């Protein structure tokens, strides 16, 4: 069994292969080709944390992500989300790998938003608004730039200094939330807020929103007006069990993203589209499989090189 720390995952996992892998995984999920129960969440009230278990069987692999969410880690200088992913061979049950899951979570979340943006946002979208300035803000800017040619990236954070730092690092500009959203064709919410940070009154006609940050029935990032449009989800089951954004606004679900990718449902005609991202186990397993396959390919190449006869010395 191989062990991959975050540095090794970072060296092997790339958006150019991860985004297509997420397209396939979500298509297979909606088509019923994935076994995946709802995630189990165990509260850790003594330390204001959560512990989650996310298993899935996908093709010839199966696995689970074990994830912790500790908001107080910000004050400790630690990531709020930490995880490991365990990968097994589906045919025999053999353990294949244990991987650090923090970076996998970061990258697959942004890659799924990129899939939704590629499919649903205006082809000529050139202004991206990011509400949030943490890890997910940065990864979303990287991933979404691969599917749309943004010439302006606007960033807001409840902590202005954090927005300015993110803007400097990512080639954007920090500004108030309303100003960032007005005129933006693509908007991403990646905050830790449980109350709305995005108002529908700010959104332009035809805007696409990736609502990422709020998970849980008592949490939301979008107000009722912002949720008026075609709502797209990863799975209806998860959305109805875990999304305060959808349930508090009483917003109907138009389709699963995988249904749109497969063409089993037509693209929405609504002037506004909202992709509500919750994160699914199959996304983690598919990303982990990419890492494992990339490492296996490297090993095979090294063995082939080692087996080649050395060139004769010149005299």
Domains of the chain listed by start with CATH number:
2-104+283-306 (3.30.1780.10), 106-276 (3.40.50.720)
Question: 143 pLDDT exceeds 60?
Answer: yes
> pLDDT value at position 192?
82
- Which is nearest to 96 in space by CA: 302, 303, 299, 289? 289
Q: Using one digit for the tens of pLDDT, what is the confidence trace for 105-121?
A: 999 999 999 999 999 99
Range 24-28, long-range pairs (CB < 8 A, 24+ positions): 24/286, 25/58, 25/282, 25/283, 25/285, 25/286, 26/112, 26/115, 26/234, 26/256, 26/257, 26/258, 26/261, 26/280, 26/282, 26/283, 27/258, 27/261, 27/262, 28/58, 28/59, 28/258, 28/282
Q: What is the mean pLDDT of residues 44-56?
A: 95
Q: What is the pLDDT of residue 314?
A: 44
Where residue 310 falls among pLDDT bands split at 50, 70, 90?
Answer: low
Q: What is the pLDDT of residue 305?
A: 61
d(CA 284, CA 279): 8
- The pLDDT of residue 271: 86
Q: 256-289: per-residue pLDDT in tens?
A: 999 999 999 999 987 899 999 999 999 999 999 9
């Amino acid at each position: 069994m191989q062990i991959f720390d975050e540095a090794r995952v970072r060296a092997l996992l790339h958006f150019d292969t991860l985004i297509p892998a997420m397209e396939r995984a979500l298509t297979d999920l909606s088509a019923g080709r994935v076994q995946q129960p709802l995630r189990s969440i165990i509260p850790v009230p003594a330390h204001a944390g959560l512990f989650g278990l996310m298993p899935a069987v996908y093709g010839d692999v199966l696995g689970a992500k074990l994830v912790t969410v500790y908001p107080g880690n910000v004050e400790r200088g630690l990531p709020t989300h930490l995880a490991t992913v365990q990968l097994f061979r589906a045919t025999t049950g053999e353990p294949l790998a244990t991987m650090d899951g923090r970076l996998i979570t970061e990258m697959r979340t942004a890659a799924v938003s990129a899939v939704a943006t590629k499919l649903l946002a205006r082809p000529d979208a050139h202004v991206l608004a990011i509400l949030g300035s943490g890890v997910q803000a940065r990864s979303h800017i990287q991933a979404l730039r691969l599917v749309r040619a943004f010439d302006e990236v606007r960033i807001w954070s409840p902590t202005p200094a954090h927005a300015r730092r993110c803007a400097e690092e990512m080639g954007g500009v920090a500004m108030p939330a309303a100003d960032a959203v007005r005129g933006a064709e693509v908007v991403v919410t990646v905050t830790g807020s449980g109350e709305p940070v995005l108002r529908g009154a700010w959104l332009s006609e035809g805007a696409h929103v990736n609502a990422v940050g709020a998970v849980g029935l008592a949490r939301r990032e979008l107000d009722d007006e912002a949720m008026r449009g075609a709502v797209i989800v990863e799975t209806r089951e998860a959305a109805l069990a875990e999304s305060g954004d959808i349930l508090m606004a009483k917003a109907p679900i138009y389709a699963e993203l995988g249904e749109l990718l497969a063409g089993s449902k037509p693209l929405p005609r609504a002037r506004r589209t909202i992709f509500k991202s919750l994160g699914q186990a199959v996304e983690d397993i598919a990303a982990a499989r990419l890492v494992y396959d990339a490492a296996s390919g490297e090993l095979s190449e090294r063995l082939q090189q080692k087996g080649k006869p050395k060139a004769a010395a010149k005299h």
